[in-house]
Structure 1
């Protein structure tokens, strides 16, 4: 019986770990989680914020995910988008999901990321 998503794995090219760390910890405010030694030897890095974990694993012949993406729920989406834009991220707003504000951006290796916040109506 499924109870939760433990993590989402995204791919990245070998050698991109420093750029990923700068983005996921600096821009997104996540914390890097140490990988077990046997997995650390493969490269990549893991990040966490609250219950959300994103694992970035290196992949030979890497191609970024342009359609597939994690949908990450945030608070104060306008401020979050401004924070990312101030760090050079391109923000693409999308109004097609009823009841939500959302935008898309890419991580430093081109993976698509969605950020959304439910709209509360008085």
Structure 2
């Protein structure tokens, strides 16, 4: 096998909405924001990284939300995160069951589709 891992997922966002993206990915989902390299920071957007998850949001002048393609994040407590997101005004949706997981979907502040998955134990 040639592919041995994934470094990050990149999503698009509209220009000038960095405060919204921080509120969602850092404050609600709990993925800490990290500084972008200076030569990339001038483009706008924000990067969020933990030990196991890296999400980079980059400004796209012709932004359209990803409604089908999406990242799927494994979470510790789907119930607690769902309550937190709903309390912040986000609507969560359920889909067809997937063996071994409880899961829900939420859209980020720009309409990008995000899957949240908790393994059944």
TM score, norm. by length of structure 2:
0.94
Contact in 2 for aligned 1:45/1:55 (Cα 8 Å): yes
Find the counterpart in structure 2 of residue 94 from structure 1.
95
Find the counterpart in structure 2 of residue 79 from structure 1.
80
Quote the Cα distance in structure 2 between the aligned partners of 1:53 and 1:8: 6
Cα root mean square deviation, aligned: 1.0
Contact in 1 for aligned 2:31/2:53 (Cα 8 Å): no
The runs of 5 or more residues in structure 1 that have no matched partner are: none
Find the counterpart in structure 2 of residue 4 from structure 1.
5
Find the counterpart in structure 2 of residue 59 from structure 1.
60
Count of residue pairs brought into register by the alignment = 120
TM score, norm. by length of structure 1:
0.93
SS at match of 2:30: coil
Structure 1 residue runs of 4 or more that deviate by more than 2 Å after TM superposition: none
Q: How far apart are 1:77 and its partner, in Å?
A: 1.1
Quote the Cα distance in structure 1 between the aligned partners of 2:115 and 2:22: 18
Quote the Cα distance in structure 1 between the aligned partners of 2:37 and 2:101: 37
